[in-house]
Amino acid sequence: MVNSCDMKKLSVILLVCVFFVGCVPQAPRLSTEEIMDSWLNHHKSKLIKEWGPPHRVTTDGKGGEIYIYESSSTSATTFNNFFGVELDNPITTLNTNTRYRQFYIDRNGKIYYWRSKG
C-alpha cells in the first residue's frame, strides 16, 4: 500500500518530468528556401546520397545538368451540399499537388542554382 508521503513524492517527480519535457527546445523548421540554399556548392554525389537518384535529368544548356525531383500529395474534398441544397450522395473530389525541386549542376558536379515549384 502506498502512503500519502510516497504519493506526494511521486506527484512531485512526475510534475518535474512534465516540466522538463515541456521545456525541451524544438528543432526550428527550415523553409524550402533555406533547405535548397544549403545545397549550393555541394557535389551532386552528396545530393544523390541524401535524396536518392533524381526522377529526371536534363541539360542546363551550359555543359551541366539539371536534376529534377518530384513529390506528390493527394487530398480529398467532399461536398455535402450544392448551392444550399443537401445532397443525397456527397461529391468527393481528389486534388493532387506535385512539387518539383530542381538542382542545377555545373560540369564539375557542383550545385550552382536551384528552383522550386509547387
CATH code, domain with 38: 3.30.1450
* Residue at 7 is within a domain: no
Name the residue range of residue 36's domain. 30-80+88-117
Query: Do the domain assignments include residue 19?
Result: no
1 pLDDT more than 60? no
Residue 21 lies in a domain: no
Q: Is 7 or 92 the better-scoring residue by pLDDT? A: 92
- In-domain check, residue 20: no
What span, in angstroms and rounded, lies between the C-alpha atoms of 89 and 32?
40
Tell me the pLDDT of the chain averaged across its residues: 86
The CA distance from 98 to 87, in Å, is 31
Residue 94 in domain: yes
What's the total number of domains in the chain?
A: 1
Query: For residues 66 and 112, what is the distance between their CA atoms, to the nearest angstrom?
Result: 10
**pLDDT tens column, 21-78:** 556 666 778 899 999 999 999 999 999 999 999 999 999 999 999 999 999 999 988 8
Examine residue 97 and state whether it is found in any structural domain, yes or no: yes
pLDDT at 14 over 70: no
Is residue 18 in some structural domain?
Answer: no
pTM of the model: 0.65
Q: Which pLDDT does position 47 carry in this prediction? A: 98
